[in-house]
A and B are shown apart, each in its own frame.
Chain A
Amino acid sequence: MSEPANSKGELWLALHLPLLGLDLLQLSSAHAPAACLYEGENKHQRVWLGNSRARRCGIVPGMALKAALAQCPDLQTYPRRADAEQSRLEQLALICLDFSSRISLEPPQGLLLEVGASARLWQTKFLRRHLQGLLREQGHIVYTALHETPTGALLLARSRQNRPAQIPLGAFPVDAGITRKLARIGVHTLNDYLTLPEKDRMLRFGPELEQMALKILGRLPDPRRNWRPPCRFRRTLELEYETASAGQLLFYARRLLDELDEALAQTCSAVQQLHWIFHHYRRAPTRHQQQLLHPGRDMSRISLLLHEQLERLPLPASVEKITLQVNRFWPKAADSLSLLRDMGQNIDAIEPLLEKLQARLGAQAVYQLRALPDHRPELAWARVAPGKATPPPDQLPPRPLWLLPQPRKLSSIRSFRHWRGPERIASGWWEDDIRRDYYRARHRSGVTYWLYHHAGEWFIHGVFG
C-alpha cells in the first residue's frame, strides 16, 4: 500500500483511551475486580465497556447486562456517564494545549493533536512518551499513534497497529454489520479491502467505510474541528483594603455582578447558581453558594438576596479577594413564568417573598404542606419546597388540620362526649404496621379531638380546628 501523500506536512498524534469510563472509576487496572459500564434503561441495558477481568469472563460490549451478570455474577456494573467522559476529555485537552494548538476531541475515547508544527521543537518520539506518561499519571490507559491523517492516527492507535494496511476493519467506527459482512467473504484488513475493485466495493459496502479508507490514503480531505476551552464566568476582584463588613463586601460584589450581567447580556443567558469565594489571608476561603428558584438575570434581586445572606454569613477573617464563579449559563426563559401567571398565581409577588423568607429563616424553614395518598395519618402528608405541592385529592376523609407530632396517650376518656366512629385504619404491614380505630369526640372544653384506640389504650392524635 502506498504511503499517504500529505501536501500540508501535517502529522497527527492520536491518543486512544480504551477504558476511559472505567478509568474514571479506577476500575481499569488489570487487578481491578471485574467491572463494566452499561447503557440503556431497564430491559435494554447493554454492556458498554468492560475491564480486562470482565473481558476474561467473556463480557463483551453490546451484550445484555443481564446476560453479562448471568455469566459473571460478581461483575460490578455502573451506568455509563458520557458527560463525565466528555469533561475528562476536555480536561485532558487542556493539558494537551501545552503541546499543540490544534486539538480535536474524538469522543468517546480519543484525542487528536496536530504535532507537525511542534515536531521540530519536540522530538515526536519524546512527545509521545511524555504525553503517555502524563495521561498514565492521571490514571489512564492510553495508546498512541502517529500518522499524517487524523483518521489514520486514530485507527492506528485504536487497533494498536503500526502500518495502516494492517488495520483490521473491525477497528473502523462504521456499522458493525458492514465489517461483519466483509469478514464473511474473507476480507479482514484495510489491505484486503483495498484489493477489492473500488467501484464494486462502494456498491456493496456503502460510502462510509470507503470514505474513511480514502481519508487514510490522503485522497479525501480529513478536516477536524479545533477544540477551544469552554466559556463560563469567573472573575476575581482584589479589594482595595481588607474588610469583613457586609456592606462593603456587597459594594465589591456588585461590581462583579455588573460584569456578570454584561456577560449574560451578550449571550442572552440567565443564571441560577452563583458561587462566591471570599478569600482570606492565610486561611481557607469562605465559600457561599447562591441558589435562585428559577434562572434569572435580575441583578438587583440577586444583590438584595446576597445582602441578606452576607449579614448572616460567618466570616472567620477579613476578606482580601472575592471570586464570583458561574459554572452554567441558562438560556433566558421568560415563558415558563407567564404560564404560571395565567394560572392565577402571582408568582412575581410571592417569589421574592419566599426567597426573602428563606434568606432570613434558612431554606429549610420555609415549606409547603402536601397531601399524600396514604391511609396512615403520619404518612398522609409531607413537607415540600414552596410551590412544589400538587393540589390535594378530591375526596379526603375528615382529617384534623393539626396532627400532633406524636400521638399522646390518654389515661382516661371520661371527659369526651359525642363520639363518632370508629374509622378503622389498619395498613402498612410492609413497613410500619398500624391498626387503630379512630374516633372523633368532643372534649369537655368544647374542642373536637381525633382519638384512637389501639391495643386497649387510648391516644389523642389530632385537633380539629
Chain B
Amino acid sequence: MACSADIHYAELHCISNFTFLRGASHPEELVQRAHDLGYRALAITDECSLAGVVRAWRVARELNFHLIIGSEFRFDDGMRLLLLATNLAGYSALSQLITDCRRQSEKGSYHIERPMLDQGLPDCLALLAPTLPLPGEEVLIEQTQWLAERFPKRCWLLYERVLSADDEQSLQALSRIAAAARLALAAAGDVHMHDAGRRRLQDVLTCIRHGCAISQAGQRLYPNGERHLRSTQKLARLYPRELLDETLRIASLCQFRLDQVHYQYPDEIIPENHTVSSYLRQETEAGIRRRWPGGEPVKVRKLVEKELALIAELQYEPYFLTVYDIVKYARSQKILCQGRGSAANSAVCYCLGITEVDPARVDLLFERFISKERNEPPDIDVDFEHERREQVIQYIYRKYGRERAAIAAAVITYRPRSAVRDVGKALGLSLDQVDALAKSLAWWDGRKVKPERLRDAGFDPDSQLISQLMTLVNEIIGFPRHLSQHTGGFIIARQKLSALVPIENASMADRTIIQWDKDDLETLGFMKVDVLALGMLSAIRKTLDLIENTSGRRLRMQDIPPDDPATYRMIQQADTIGVFQIESRAQMSMLPRLKPASYYDLVIEVAIMRPGPIQGGMVHPYLRRRQGKEKVAYPSDDLRPVLERTLGIPIFQEQVIKLAMVAAGFSPGEADQLRRAMAAWKRKGGMEPFRKKLIDGMLARSYPLDFAEQIYQQILGFGDYGFPESHSASFALLAYVSSWLKAHEPAAFVCALINSQPMGFYRPDQLLQDARRHGVEVRPVDALASDWDCTLEKTAGKPALRMGFRLLKGMSRRAADMIVAQRRERPFASIRDLATGTGLNRRQLDILAASGALRSLSEHRNDARWQVWGQHKTTPLLQQAPLKETPTRLPEPGEGERLLDDYALTSLTLGRHPLALLREKLDRARLLPLGQLKQLRHGQRSRAAGIVIGRQRPHTAAGVTFLTLEDETGQANIIVWRDLAEKQRRILLHAPLLVVSGKVEKEGEVVHFIAEKLEDYSGLLGKLQTRSRDFH
C-alpha cells in the first residue's frame, strides 16, 4: 500500500447539482472539498451542461485550484462519454456541441448521437466511462474503437470503482479492452456528491427524478454511497497506482481556465468613421443641445466631461452605446422607457435620453454609482412598457441575430414549499399529507419549517420520518431544479455566443437562454442589458394618449411640471392608490409621517420602506430627524459626506457599502465582495466573515458597537431586496409622474391603469372605487357604448369613465371586438339584433345579460337573460323572420341579486356597497362602520366589520399582518400582531368578511386599528364573492 503523502489524484468525473435531480452537491462544495482533500484537480462534468462551472470557478479562483471544464454525455445505446476542454478552442467546441445537443431537443433535455462526433472534437479529451454493471465486452470493444478513431491519442477508458460486485473482474476486462485498443486506463469516481453525508439526499433526488417513493425505488437507487469525493488514502487502496497517476497526466493536458473566455462588445453600434468614443461624444453633445436649447449650465458641462472621461477610462463606451441604441429604437416606436441602475443616472444617460432624471435638478453624483476602484460592471436596467417589451426584444434579436443575442438564465431553485412537496412524496407521504405539510408553510414562515407548523398539520416533529424529512428539506432548499429565462437580461456578443456559453431552449417558443445566470455573467465580465417590463410605463403612456384624445393636449413625460404643490399635497395625505411604488399599505402609512415635499424626498420614500432600512432600525431615527424631534448628527466627521443627504442615517445600499469602506476600512475590492455576498446570503449564507470584519473594523475606528450591529443588520436586510439609490432615483421620478397624473387627470389615469392590467397593487374594482371617491363619474358596461378597454366619454364637465368589456369576467376579447365592429356598422336595435349580428356564443351573451351590459336593450337583467336564452343559431334566411315569442313578465331582480351578479362578473358594483345591504344586521350586532373608527380616541376599544380587500405581510415587519377592510363608509387599516395571527391563522387567511375587535392607535393623522380578536362573518355574504390579493 502506498503512503498517502505521495498519492496524487485528479477527479475527472464529477457532476454537480446542475445535473438536475442527480448531482447532490453544489459546484462550490465540490471544489472546496476536492481542494481540502488535496486533489490536484477536479473536473466538473455536468451532463450536457456548463451551467454550474462559473460557480465552481469562483471558488477555484479563490483557492487557486485547478478546475477542469467538461461535460458528460449519454448516448441512446448506453455509451457514456466525458469530454474535457484542454484550451479555449476546446472549450468553444464543447460549448457548441452542448448547444447543438440541446437546441434540437425540448427544454431541459438533450440528444446526442455518434455522427455529431464524427470529426472528433478539436482540443477536447474524450473519456469513456462505462456505466455499471459493465456492458458486454464486445460492446465496450466497439465503443473504444469508435472513440480511438475519432480522438486519436486523446482518449482514455475509465475504471470507476464504487464497490459494486465484481470490481476485480471489471478491472481485468477494462484492462484487456484498453490494451487491445492501445488506450490508457485511468481512475475516476463517478462522483455525485462532495461528501458521503449527501447520500440520502442523492437517493431522494433519484426518487424525485423517477417520481417514485423511496420504498419503491429499489435498484433505481445506488447500492451504496461511494459516489462521493473520497480521501486519497482510500483511493490509494482501491486503485492501482498507475491508474491514479494517469489522472494527473490527463489533468495536466487541460490547461483551460474560464477567465480565458473573453467577452467582446458588439461593434455594429457605431457608424463608420467613428470610434466608440467619438460617437458617444457626438450623441451626447446632440443630447445636450436638445435638453438645454439655451445652453447647458456650467455644472452640467463639468459633469458630462467628467463622466465621459471616466467612461473612456473604464472602456464602457460600447455598453452605453448599446443601451442607447435599444432606447433609440423604443423611442422611434413611441414605446415609453426609463433607465435605472448605477450608470443610468448619469448626465450622459440623461443626454442620451436613457433617463429623465435631470442631473441639473438633483444632485445625484454619477461617481457615487460608478467608481474606478470598485470593480463593478456598469449597470443600466431599462424598463419598457410591459405590453410592448416584446417588440424591443424582437428588435434585439433582429439586429444581432439569435446567434449573438440570448437571454440570461434564471436558476430556479427549490423553495420550502416545493422542497417539502418533492421530498415528502419521495419519502412516501401521501399526496394529502404532502399537501397538508406544504400548506402548513403558508407564505410567511420564512425559510425554515417550524416544528409548531408540523404539529398543526398533524405530524409529529420528533418522529424519525419527519426529522429525516426536515433535514433533507433543509438540504435541498436552494438546489437548482431547472433553468428558466431571466426576466430580461440580454447578453449580446460580437461573435457567436454559443462559442462562449451553451445555449438551450426556453419553455417559451422561440426563446433561447444561455446556461449562465446574471451572477455568472458578472463574474466573467459579460455585458448584460436588462430589458425589463414595467406596467406603470404602459399606464403612463396610455394616460398621456387619453389626455391627448380628450383634450387635444399632447403631454410628454418631461413636460410634466416638477415640484407641483397639489401633487405633493396628495402624496402627503397618502392618497396614492394606483400610483407607482408609494401605493402599498406600508408606504401609505409612511407618507403622512415623512411628508415628501420634493423629488429627493420621494427617492428616500421609495427606498426607506424596504427590508434593509427597516431591519437596520433606520426608519424611525430618520423620521425623528426629519420631523425635527432629533438633532442631525453624524457618527464621525468622515461619515458626514456619506450620510449628509439622508440626515445622518444610512438608507441606501450605496451608503452602506461606502460606510463599510470609510468606517470599517474595507478595501474597494472587499466592498465589492460584500455587495455580492449581500445579494446572495439568503440563498447561500456566507455573511459571517463580513460581520466580523465590519464590526472589528468599526470598533477599531471607535464607532459604537450598537451602530456597527445596526449596520450589519441593515446589510442582512438588503439581501434579496437591496434597493440602491440609483434605482430609487428612477422609480421616484415615475412615482412623481404617476402622482401628478392622478392628481390632475384622475379619469384618464385610472382608465389607463385599468387598461394596463394586470399590474400594480390594487385590483380594477379598488381602483374604480378610489376614482369614484375622487369624483370621477364611472359608467357601467353597456353593449351600446363600451369598448374592450375602458374609455373616456366627454361630458359637460370632466370626462366620465366608461367601463370596458375587459372588466367582465369571462368575456373574451374577440367577442368584445365583434360587438364594437358590428355596432360601428349599424347600431343594435334589440338583443336579437346583437346576437345574430355578432354571432356571439351563448356564454358571452349570458355574461352581457348578467352584467347589465344589455341595459339599453332590455327592461332589466332577468328580461335580458330570458331574451338571450331564447337566441338560437339561425340560418341567414330565418334571420329576418322574427320568431314569435309569448311576452313574458319576469320578476325584476332585487338589489341583492344585482349586487351578486355585479360582484361575480366585475368584483365591483356601481350600486350600493354589499355591506350597506347588511348594515341593519351589522347595526344589530353593534358593529361600527369603518368610517367612524377615525373619530375614536386613541386607545378606545371597538368592534367593526369589513370585507377584506388586502392582506399584506411584509417580510420586514416582524410578523405583522396588515389587513385592509372595506365597507360602504370607507377603508380601514388593521394591524394583526403575530400572536393573534398564529392563533387565528385560518380566519385571517381565508375569511372574506371579518369582524375585528380591537383598539385604536393614533399617531398624528395616521390611524391604525390593532386587532385583538377576529371573527369570521362570511356567512352573511351568502354567495357574494370577494377575493383579496395576497402579496408576498
Question: CB of B446 within 8 A of chain A?
Answer: no
* B224 pairs with A425, CB closer than 8 A: yes
* A185 pairs with B224, CB closer than 8 A: no
Binary CB contact string for chain B from 161 to 175 against chain A (1 if under 8 A, 0 otherwise): 001111110000000
B-contacting residues, A168-202, CB 8 Å: 181, 184-187, 196-197, 199-200
Question: CB of A383 within 8 A of chain B?
Answer: no
What residues on A are CB-neighbors of B435 within 8 Å?
66
Question: In whole angstroms, how far apart are the Cα atoms of A275 and B200 in the complex?
Answer: 51
* A426 pairs with B225, CB closer than 8 A: yes
In the complex, how many angstroms separate the beta carbon of B193 from the nearest chain A beta carbon?
14
* B870 pairs with A203, CB closer than 8 A: yes
* B888 pairs with A372, CB closer than 8 A: no
Question: CB of B891 within 8 A of chain A?
Answer: yes
* B220 pairs with A424, CB closer than 8 A: no
Q: A204-B869, A375-B221, A424-B223 are in contact. Are A185 and B214 (CB under 8 A)?
A: no
Question: In whole angstroms, how far apart are the Cα atoms of A70 and B468 in the complex?
Answer: 26
In the complex, how many angstroms separate the beta carbon of A173 from the nearest chain B beta carbon?
21
Question: In whole angstroms, how far apart are the Cα atoms of A424 and B230 in the complex?
Answer: 15
Q: Name the CB-closest residue of A to B887.
A: A197
* B224 pairs with A424, CB closer than 8 A: yes
Question: CB of A126 within 8 A of chain B?
Answer: no
* B219 pairs with A373, CB closer than 8 A: yes
Question: In whole angstroms, how far apart are the Cα atoms of A199 and B870 in the complex?
Answer: 11
* B872 pairs with A203, CB closer than 8 A: yes
Question: CB of B886 within 8 A of chain A?
Answer: yes
In the complex, how many angstroms separate the beta carbon of A246 from the nearest chain B beta carbon?
46
Binary CB contact string for chain A from 420 to 458 against chain B (1 if under 8 A, 0 otherwise): 111111110111000001100000000000000000000
* A200 pairs with B888, CB closer than 8 A: yes
Q: A424-B223, A424-B224 are in contact. Are A204 and B165 (CB under 8 A)?
A: no
Question: In whole angstroms, how far apart are the Cα atoms of A438 and B886 in the complex?
Answer: 91
Question: CB of A43 within 8 A of chain B?
Answer: yes
Question: In whole angstroms, how far apart are the Cα atoms of A66 and B434 in the complex?
Answer: 12
What residues on A are CB-neighbors of B432 within 8 Å?
66
Question: CB of B389 within 8 A of chain A?
Answer: no
In the complex, how many angstroms separate the beta carbon of B836 from the nearest chain A beta carbon?
16
What residues on B are CB-neighbors of A314 within 8 Å?
none
Which one, A204, A373, A427, contacts B870 given CB within 8 A?
A: A204
* A186 pairs with B862, CB closer than 8 A: yes
* B870 pairs with A375, CB closer than 8 A: no
Question: CB of B427 within 8 A of chain A?
Answer: yes
* B888 pairs with A197, CB closer than 8 A: yes
B-contacting residues, A379-438, CB 8 Å: 393, 395, 397-398, 420-427, 429-431, 437-438
What residues on A are CB-neighbors of B166 within 8 Å?
397-398, 420, 423
The count of chain A contact residues (Cβ–Cβ below 8 Å) is: 38
What residues on B are CB-neighbors of A70 within 8 Å?
439, 986, 990
Question: CB of B893 within 8 A of chain A?
Answer: yes
A-contacting residues, B685-739, CB 8 Å: none
Question: CB of B866 within 8 A of chain A?
Answer: yes
Q: Name the CB-closest residue of A to B428.
A: A430
The count of chain B contact residues (Cβ–Cβ below 8 Å) is: 46
Question: CB of A311 within 8 A of chain B?
Answer: no
In the complex, how many angstroms separate the beta carbon of B238 from the nearest chain A beta carbon?
10
Question: In whole angstroms, how far apart are the Cα atoms of A422 and B850 in the complex?
Answer: 77
* B869 pairs with A181, CB closer than 8 A: yes
Q: A185-B862, A373-B220, A397-B133 are in contact. Are A423 and B165 (CB under 8 A)?
A: yes
Q: Name the CB-closest residue of B to A435.
A: B224
Question: In whole angstroms, how far apart are the Cα atoms of A181 and B845 in the complex?
Answer: 13
Q: Name the CB-closest residue of B to A429.
A: B200
Question: In whole angstroms, how far apart are the Cα atoms of A187 and B890 in the complex?
Answer: 8
Question: In whole angstroms, how far apart are the Cα atoms of A95 and B85 in the complex?
Answer: 85
What residues on A are CB-neighbors of B869 within 8 Å?
181, 203-205
Question: CB of B885 within 8 A of chain A?
Answer: yes
What residues on A are CB-neighbors of B165 within 8 Å?
397-398, 421, 423, 438
Question: In whole angstroms, how far apart are the Cα atoms of A438 and B869 in the complex?
Answer: 78
Binary CB contact string for chain A from 51 to 85 against chain B (1 if under 8 A, 0 otherwise): 00000001000000010001000000000000000
In the complex, how many angstroms separate the beta carbon of B324 from the nearest chain A beta carbon?
52
What residues on B are CB-neighbors of A203 within 8 Å?
869-870, 872
In the complex, how many angstroms separate the beta carbon of A454 from the nearest chain B beta carbon?
13
* B865 pairs with A437, CB closer than 8 A: no
Question: CB of B215 within 8 A of chain A?
Answer: yes
Question: In whole angstroms, how far apart are the Cα atoms of A7 and B401 in the complex?
Answer: 85
What residues on A are CB-neighbors of B465 within 8 Å?
430
* A184 pairs with B870, CB closer than 8 A: no
* A42 pairs with B224, CB closer than 8 A: no
Q: Name the CB-closest residue of A to B468.
A: A430
Question: In whole angstroms, how far apart are the Cα atoms of A421 and B163 in the complex?
Answer: 8
Q: Name the CB-closest residue of B to A426.
A: B224
In the complex, how many angstroms separate the beta carbon of B467 from the nearest chain A beta carbon?
12
Question: In whole angstroms, how far apart are the Cα atoms of A204 and B866 in the complex?
Answer: 8
What residues on B are CB-neighbors of A43 within 8 Å?
431
Question: CB of A374 within 8 A of chain B?
Answer: yes
Question: In whole angstroms, how far apart are the Cα atoms of A380 and B165 in the complex?
Answer: 15
A-contacting residues, B877-925, CB 8 Å: 885-886, 888, 890-891, 893, 897, 901
* A393 pairs with B219, CB closer than 8 A: yes
Q: Name the CB-closest residue of B to A198.
A: B886
Question: CB of B218 within 8 A of chain A?
Answer: yes
What residues on B are CB-neighbors of A393 within 8 Å?
219
What residues on A are CB-neighbors of B893 within 8 Å?
186
Binary CB contact string for chain B from 399 to 440 against chain A (1 if under 8 A, 0 otherwise): 000000000000000000000000000011001100100010
What residues on B are CB-neighbors of A422 within 8 Å?
163
Q: Name the CB-closest residue of B to A398.
A: B165
* B218 pairs with A372, CB closer than 8 A: yes
In the complex, how many angstroms separate the beta carbon of A416 from the nearest chain B beta carbon?
16
Question: In whole angstroms, how far apart are the Cα atoms of A437 and B223 in the complex?
Answer: 11
Question: In whole angstroms, how far apart are the Cα atoms of A204 and B199 in the complex?
Answer: 65
Q: A374-B219, A375-B219, A430-B427 are in contact. Are A186 and B890 (CB under 8 A)?
A: yes
Question: In whole angstroms, how far apart are the Cα atoms of A429 and B214 in the complex?
Answer: 10
Binary CB contact string for chain B from 144 to 173 against chain A (1 if under 8 A, 0 otherwise): 000000000000000000011111100000
Question: CB of B654 within 8 A of chain A?
Answer: no
What residues on B are CB-neighbors of A421 within 8 Å?
165, 167
A-contacting residues, B217-261, CB 8 Å: 218-221, 223-226
Which of B225, B226, B427 is the most central at the interface, judged by chain A CB atoms within 10 Å of its CB?
A: B225
Question: In whole angstroms, how far apart are the Cα atoms of A375 and B214 in the complex?
Answer: 12
Question: In whole angstroms, how far apart are the Cα atoms of A42 and B434 in the complex?
Answer: 12
What residues on B are CB-neighbors of A205 within 8 Å?
869
* B218 pairs with A199, CB closer than 8 A: no
In the complex, how many angstroms separate the beta carbon of B660 from the nearest chain A beta carbon?
45
What residues on B are CB-neighbors of A438 within 8 Å?
165
Q: A186-B893, A424-B226 are in contact. Are A42 and B886 (CB under 8 A)?
A: no
Q: Name the CB-closest residue of B to A45.
A: B432
Question: In whole angstroms, how far apart are the Cα atoms of A421 and B431 in the complex?
Answer: 42
What residues on B are CB-neighbors of A186 within 8 Å?
862, 890-891, 893, 897
Question: In whole angstroms, how far apart are the Cα atoms of A398 and B427 in the complex?
Answer: 29
Which of B168, B215, B223, B986 is the most central at the interface, judged by chain A CB atoms within 10 Å of its CB?
A: B223
Given A184-B901, A420-B168, A424-B226, 17 additional A-B pairs, CB 8 A: A66-B432, A70-B439, A70-B986, A184-B850, A185-B866, A197-B886, A200-B886, A375-B218, A397-B164, A422-B163, A425-B224, A426-B199, A427-B224, A429-B203, A430-B468, A437-B163, A438-B165
Those 3 A-B pairs whose CB atoms lie nearest each other, nearest first: A373-B218, A424-B163, A197-B886
Q: List 19 A-B contacts (CB under 8 A).
A: A66-B435, A70-B986, A184-B850, A185-B890, A186-B891, A186-B893, A187-B890, A197-B885, A204-B866, A205-B869, A373-B220, A374-B219, A375-B224, A397-B133, A397-B165, A397-B166, A427-B224, A431-B215, A437-B163
Interface, chain A (partner B; CB < 8 A): 42-43, 58, 66, 70, 181, 184-187, 196-197, 199-200, 203-205, 372-375, 393, 395, 397-398, 420-427, 429-431, 437-438
